[in-house]
Amino acid sequence: MKTLDYDRRLIELGIELPTPPQSYFNYVPTLISGNHLYISGQLSSRSGEPYHRGRLGDDASLESTQVAARQCGLNILAHVRKACGGTLNHVAHCVRITGYVNASSDCYQHAEAMDGCSNLMYEIFGEVGRHTRSTVGVASLPFNALIEIDAIFEIRKIPAGTHIHPTAINGDLA
């Protein structure tokens, strides 16, 4: 089975990943256990500051929420790259993403909003980017964020000598 060069795919698509956002509170942004990489919930932040705020169905449109979901996806991928030694090429599969959408009680567009992130995963990884997903509407999120998304990736064994971010390790892949 031929493996694609996902780092090259980013360049082909003109996508530049941001610097991975720091954790706001007391948790690690990534954790490797076995052959899975867990990414903590990511907000649609830029340069460390929450960017998209509001509530879908109230003061935020579906389109702006999809843009926010895509930004969450970019932040997720920035953490994947950092945890995997500076490359996306250790990704075997995007297994699952879960989205929490700050939404009014009469809004039912959560799944459509999450397509901003899901479409990004497919755009970069192709079939490897197809994933399971849950999306829920919530009454509030930290910093009045519009959306928060976490993810689980299956990763290939990382070659010995690869520098891995120390907070990512909790298994036998390093």
Q: How far apart are CA 174 and CA 160, in angstroms?
A: 7
> Measuring CA to CA, which residue among 155, 145, 164 is closest to residue 42?
145
Burial 4-23 (b: 16+ CB within 10 A, else e): eebeebbeeeeeebeebbee
Q: Are strands 49-50 and 147-155 parallel, antiparallel or unpaired?
A: unpaired
Is a pLDDT exceeding 90 seen at residue 162?
Answer: no
pLDDT (tens digit per residue) in 9-40: 999 999 999 999 988 889 999 999 999 999 99
Give residue limits of the domains in the chain. 6-15+42-168
CATH code, residues 6-15+42-168: 3.30.1330.40
Q: Could you count the other beta carbons within 10 Å of the beta carbon of residue 105?
A: 9
**Phi-psi domain of 65 (left: phi exceeds 0; alpha: psi -120 through 50; beta: other):** alpha
pLDDT (tens digit per residue) in 73-123: 999 999 999 999 999 999 999 999 999 999 999 999 999 999 999 999 999
Q: How far apart are CA 105 and CA 88, in angstroms?
A: 38
